[in-house]
A = this chain, B = another copy of it.
Amino acid sequence: MSKVLRIVPLGGLGEIGKNMMAVEYGQDILIIDVGVMFPENDMLGIDLVIPDWTYLRDKFDRVVGIVITHGHEDHIGALPYLLREMRAPIYATRLALGFIENKLKRQGLAKAVEQHAVQVGDQVTIGTFQVEFLAMNHSIPDGVGLAIRTPAGLLIHSGDFKFDYTPTQGVGADFGRLAELSREGVLALLADSTGAERPGFTPSEKVIDPVFDEIFREAPGRIIIATFSSLISRVQQVINCAARHGRKVALAGYSLLENVRMAQKLGYLEVPAGVLVPLDATRRLPPKQVTLLVTGSQGEPGAALARIARGEHRDIDIVPGDTVILSANPIPGNEEVVARVINKLFQRGAEVIYPPLAQVHVSGHASQEEQKLLLALTKPKYFIPIHGELRHLHAHARTAKAVGMPPENIFIVENGTVIEFEDGVGRIGERVPGGYVFVDGSGVGDVGPAVLRDREALARDGFVIAVVPVDQATGEPIGQPAIVSRGFVYVRESSELLEEAARRVEQALLNNGYCSPRAVEMTVKDVLGKFLYDETHRRPMILPVITEI
């Protein structure tokens, strides 16, 4: 049997999102996290991106378990898709399991899979691996790191982490345990790189309390707060602050309602009696007693905040005197839509408070000094930066070098590049698939680069279709083609242009006389393309359709 330990990154290395990794020793494979990524701005029409687990497909029977570090979408979101193809026991802390349960229920998969609730400190044997769940801090309760003992050595996986000496919920990271593990000798540390470009130490969640207090004290009317629906500790802070200032809290947005219900049920949220009220009950309260906690902090067009900003929310209208707090930073790529929501809220007369104008949000990810601390505590032989675009992985590697990690012991790899350890020595292994699988509507993986290129071309200049009638018997083009166009010019004001285009095509085909369907198509493309470019300097997609008459 092979004595090689293989780390197979399938997501999250070279991107922010869709975290997934396989750890392989002998016959056994352990999966860590199965997340989704939200599409980038140029992934047109795509709903979600999930990891490409092609590599695992002929090895599903070797998977001994799926370990989840925490309940964020970029760590659990692709589970329903994976579980359509395979089954393995899931290990996660209670809140993450609660969120997973909600997710699987919607897919009718709730009872389909064995689930193990674990807690910090637990050591679980999963096949050949012994997995210990480590206390870490992150922007969701019960986020854990992993110590994975394998026959080839001890791995430490940070999960998403920061170090917070004064977390608002739960206990802080267990520095002592991390240090103890270093005594055993850590073969490799795999650590979260999201915040690797940020110098210093990420502030504690605690710093938000006095900022909220001041806003709650000064606000002349309602307070509307948008944050991540999974950021249960922030929800707790809002509820506590509202209670301190004699305000009620109502929720708007499906995912927020669902997550808060689950967190309450599992004991992750303590709500003083009477503070949480239904949305419609707030209408009868004086504005100074109202706090609305809403979804949409990323400017998502369908979520509560964007609908409020557009004046399209069923229950919530901005009135002068309202104070809106964006208790979140825009995820890279969302800056423009978030800014637009802020501008629209101002337009409607709200006062808007957002970072960096006030410290109403702190990151859930470690900055450089915390990354150094984790390296110092665990003293790994090898270092693998994970969770980040290539620039974050490089920044993290630079930090590791700065505290003495030898460059040759740092592996900067992207999804699909296997790292192997044998006899305590690491090396870069083979390449396996590690790209994007697009979810579009009910289709998984059927939309690829060709369709996206078409969407891009259509988005740029629209299309022009020429329906060319040809004689059924002779194949000769007869009469003028019908021109149909969208997204190219404003059709109502361009009838002359399109009529002239039709005439040109007819004339060209007439000049050609009989020719093959292929030649007809070529002529239509050439003539139309050139004429329309000359007239408009645009290049619409041109499609000839030949109909036999």
Contact = CB atoms under 8 A, between A and B. Distances in A.
Interface string A529-544: 0000001111001010
Contacts of A549: 547, 549
A265 interface: no
11 contacts: A40-B336, A44-B459, A45-B461, A332-B336, A339-B391, A346-B391, A443-B536, A443-B537, A463-B463, A467-B467, A482-B545
Contact of A463 (B458, B536, B545): B458
Nearest to A455: B487
A14 interface: yes
B335 A459 contact: no
Interface in A480-524: 482, 484, 486-490, 493-494
Contact of A336 (B41, B467, B536): B41
A186 B103 CA distance: 62
A300 interface: no
Interface in A178-228: 197
Contacts of A489: 443, 446-447, 451
A12 to B, nearest CB: 14
A299 to B, nearest CB: 12
Nearest to A357: B197
Q: Which of A458, A486, A543 has the most CB of B within 10 A?
A: A458
Nearest to A489: B446
Contacts of A347: 390, 414
Interface in A371-430: 389-391, 394-395, 414
A547 B391 contact: no
A335 B448 CA distance: 25
A153 B317 CA distance: 41
A237 to B, nearest CB: 24
Given A336-B40, A538-B443, A465 B545 contact: yes
A454 interface: yes
Given A450-B490, A451-B488, A537 B442 contact: yes
Contacts of A352: 391, 394
A308 interface: no
A343 interface: yes
Nearest to A441: B537
Interface in A78-118: none
Given A333-B336, A484-B543, 14 more contacts: A41-B41, A45-B461, A197-B356, A343-B389, A352-B394, A441-B461, A442-B535, A446-B490, A446-B494, A451-B490, A454-B462, A454-B487, A455-B462, A463-B486
Interface in A42-73: 44-45
A440 interface: yes
A460 B343 contact: no
A154 to B, nearest CB: 29
A441 B343 contact: no
Contacts of A293: none
Contacts of A441: 461, 536-538
Contacts of A543: 484, 486
Interface string A461-482: 1110101010000000000001
A342 interface: yes
A369 interface: no
A390 B414 CA distance: 40
A28 interface: no
B541 A486 contact: yes
A484 B545 contact: yes
Contact of A462 (B346, B390, B451): B451
Contact of A493 (B14, B394, B446): B446
